[in-house]
Amino acid sequence: MQLYVGTSGWAYKAWQPDFYPEKLPQAKFLSYYASKLPAVEVNYTFRHLLSEKTITAWLAQTPESFRFALKANQAITHIRKLNEGTEQVLAKFLYSIAPLEEAGRLGPVLFQLPPQMKAAPEVLDRFLAMLPRALQPAFEFRHDSWFHQETFSVLRSHHAALCRAESDELQTPDVETANFSYYRLRRSVYSAADRRQIALKLSGMGPGREVYAFFKHEESPESPLWGMELLRSAERLAA
């Protein structure tokens, strides 16, 4: 098993001084982050296309083992909603992230659907057929109607992962649909007992599987600190 633990974003000054050193300039946050955690979830791509200059800078600041998981652009998920007309915006998005893939540094691409978007398995199936086979797509559904066997079968047929997302208001079924796993850990509080349970679960995911797990706490440094703890605990349990 290869475990990629990280956070949603990294450029948060509120993480000083508990995670980032107090006097570390923001321009060096990514390189420091990448020395402690092996992956990051990038939300910037939800509203913007990446430039080659940005990707080049990211690659220069991170080791070859580091992975960038990207949120798919909103034009795909929230404007077109995977429907007809998605082909062009999807092509632009994929072109913009190609340098990351070519460098071997692209993690999964997260397709987060709008909360009001109800299940449409035939739309999902048609959209997944447009994706390159090398891509690792993960889908975060936020309407309960998606959580049934027809959805899971469509995901499995295209080797796409069901994103296990949790928050104070949402809990996704714990169902595997791909040979990699994607977790979004977004509850407001995770107790020490909660974190031990997560480490225990992730450590037992089985050989050969890539597992991605991201905490979200921009306003305080718990997110990267919990990520470091989870990585240590899961690797120790898996040993």
Chain Cα centroid distance, residue 170: 17
**Residue 218: what pLDDT?**
81
Name every residue whose Cβ is closer than 8 Å to that of residue 154 and which is 6 or more positions away in sequence. Answer: 121, 124, 125, 128
**Residue 120: what pLDDT?**
97
Q: List, in sequence order, every residue forming a beta bridge with 139; answer none if it has no partner.
A: 111, 162
Q: Which amino acid, one-letter code, is at 94? A: L
The superfamily CATH assigns to domain 2-238 is Protein of unknown function UPF0759 (3.20.20.410)
**Domain range annotation of the chain:** 2-238
**Residue 87: what pLDDT?**
94
Name every residue whose Cβ is closer than 8 Å to that of residue 201 and which is 6 or more positions away in sequence. Answer: none
Return averaged pLDDT per consecutive 10 residues of the chain, 239 residues in all.
Answer: 95 96 97 98 97 97 98 97 93 97 98 97 97 97 96 98 92 95 94 94 88 91 95 86
**Residue 42: what pLDDT?**
97
Name every residue whose Cβ is closer than 8 Å to that of residue 19 and which is 6 or more positions away in sequence. Answer: 36, 221, 224, 225
**Residue 67: what pLDDT?**
98
Strands 137-140 and 161-162: parallel
**Residue 217: what pLDDT?**
79
Cβ atoms within 10 Å, residue 117: 17
**Residue 30: what pLDDT?**
98
